[in-house]
Amino acid sequence: MSTIIKDIEIIRTTSTTINEVDFDNLTFGSVFSDHMLVCDYKDGEWQMPKIMPYQPVTLDPSAKIFHYGQSVFEGMKAYKDADENVWLFRPEQNCKRLNISSHRLAIPELPESYFMEGLKALLELDKDWIPTKDGSSLYIRPFVFASGNGFHASPADEYKFIICTAPSGAYFSGDVKVLIEETYSRSADGGVGFAKAGGNYAGQFYPTQLAKEKGYQQVIWTDDHKHEYIEEAGAMNIFVRINDTLITGPTSDRILDGITRKSIIELAEAENIPVEVRKITVKEVVEAANNGSLKEMFGAGTAAVISPISGFGYKDKDYELPKLEKTYASYLKQRITDIQTNKVEDPFGWRYKV
């Protein structure tokens, strides 16, 4: 869809809160920048996006988002380099995936130009909110939800697309220990696991709470058939290093097609790291942990970047990962963040200048 937008209406805030933010000690996604982009779908089409001060959204109690959970979202980051240039990482991939998710949830797809031009205008306005400290960035949350009313269990006739942003630090604080799930499932064949649908996350909260009570930060989801295969974690795709080979599971309609995941595969291949995209059984990971060939496990995602996993739990037993001096995780994390923040050449053409 190539709808052209010329001028986005901008209503500027009259009371910035930027001076209240401690940019040296940012947590993840808990303070919000001055402005947001809002775009309404009504009368069968997406209306012109507008930028306005960050503020509450007013909805009827009968809005379908509350009852039927028709909502999808994205996660992205903006970075600022030493010369104050603003960069995004493969933003067209997020736009494409938002529409893939929307399609599955019977939400009308958004013109790419509304997403891209709207985001660029928002970032230009809130440029001062982009942190520059190592490991921090402006986390961007585009989302679409059913704002139309009615108790009839059918798609709404009105939607809102909003982008708001949050200067953020690391997603995880400290070590990440994961629990390999044996009972609950995040997704199923033919379901919505591949979509970034809000409900996928709501469904994870309870099993993740149980895991947290046992001292794990995330659940590693396994296939819903027999819980035999490693799929992905709550907020990231999973990589396993056995001996010198990096392995990640193939995407399917149960797994989110992560942009970080696919970038890591390309990056590792370009660096001559042996990579396999194939199904990984829990059994082989446990065996590799027992015989010492399991060298690393890490999660990959926009929020998580590359988060090393220090150990995993399975069938009431804990397995520790070795503490290596040189890891694929730290090497690949450095490479990808250097590309994202314009510190090195980008041979892949992933970086996008705002």
56 or 349: CB nearest ligand PLP: 349
Q: Which of 271, 38, 286 is nearest to 164 (CA)?
A: 38
181 or 289: CB nearest ligand COI: 181
Q: With CB cut-offs between 5 and 8 Å by kind, which of ligand PLP, ligand COI, none does residue 256 bind?
A: ligand PLP
95 or 125: CB nearest ligand PLP: 95
Q: How many residues line the site for ligand PLP (CB under 6 A)?
A: 12
Considering only residues 109 through 128, tell me which ones interact with ligand PLP, judged by CB under 6 A: none
Count of CB atoms situated within 10 Å of the CB of 41: 22
Considering only residues 69 through 98, tell me which ones interact with ligand PLP, judged by CB under 6 A: 75
- Strand, helix or coil for residue 291: helix
Using the rule CB under 6 A, is 101 a contact of ligand COI?
no
Q: Which amino acid is at 7?
A: D
Using the rule CB under 6 A, is 235 a contact of ligand PLP?
yes
Q: Could you tell me the sign of the dihedral formed by the alpha carbons of 333, 337, 343, 348, in that order?
A: positive
- In the list 222, 302, 337, 340, the residue contacting ligand COI (rule: CB under 6 A) is 302
Using the rule CB under 6 A, is 264 a contact of ligand PLP?
no
In the bound state, the residue with its beta carbon closest to ligand COI is 75
Q: How far is the CB of 74 from ligand COI (least distance, A)?
A: 7
- In the list 111, 131, 142, 258, the residue contacting ligand PLP (rule: CB under 6 A) is 258
Q: How far is the CB of 59 from ligand COI (least distance, A)?
A: 22
Helix 91-104 vs helix 259-270: crossing angle, to nearest 10: 140
The interface region with ligand COI, picked from 49-57, 113-121, 280-288, 297-305 by CB under 6 A, is: 297-305
Q: Which two three-digit tokens encode residue 106?
A: 């019977």
Q: Which two three-digit tokens encode residue 246?
A: 């990096």
Count of CB atoms situated within 10 Å of the CB of 315: 8
Using the rule CB under 6 A, is 203 a contact of ligand COI?
no
Q: How far is the CB of 97 from ligand COI (least distance, A)?
A: 11
Using the rule CB under 6 A, is 306 a contact of ligand COI?
no
- Cβ neighbours for 141, distance < 8 A, ≥ 6 positions apart: 29, 73, 74, 75, 163, 164, 165, 166
- As a whole number of angstroms, the distance between CA 26 and CA 222 comes to 33
- CA distance readout (Å), 43 to 8, 58, 148, 157, 321: 20, 19, 11, 8, 55
Residue 30 φ/ψ, nearest 5 degrees: -125, -10
Q: Quick check: 179 and 236 in contact, CB under 8 A?
A: no
- In the list 236, 246, 288, 339, the residue contacting ligand PLP (rule: CB under 6 A) is 236
169 or 301: CB nearest ligand COI: 301
Q: How far is the CB of 236 from ligand PLP (least distance, A)?
A: 5
Segment holding 222, helix H or strand E: strand 218-222
Using the rule CB under 6 A, is 259 a contact of ligand PLP?
yes
Binding site for ligand COI (CB under 6 A): 75, 235, 301-303
Binding site for ligand PLP (CB under 6 A): 75, 232, 235-237, 256, 258-261, 301-302
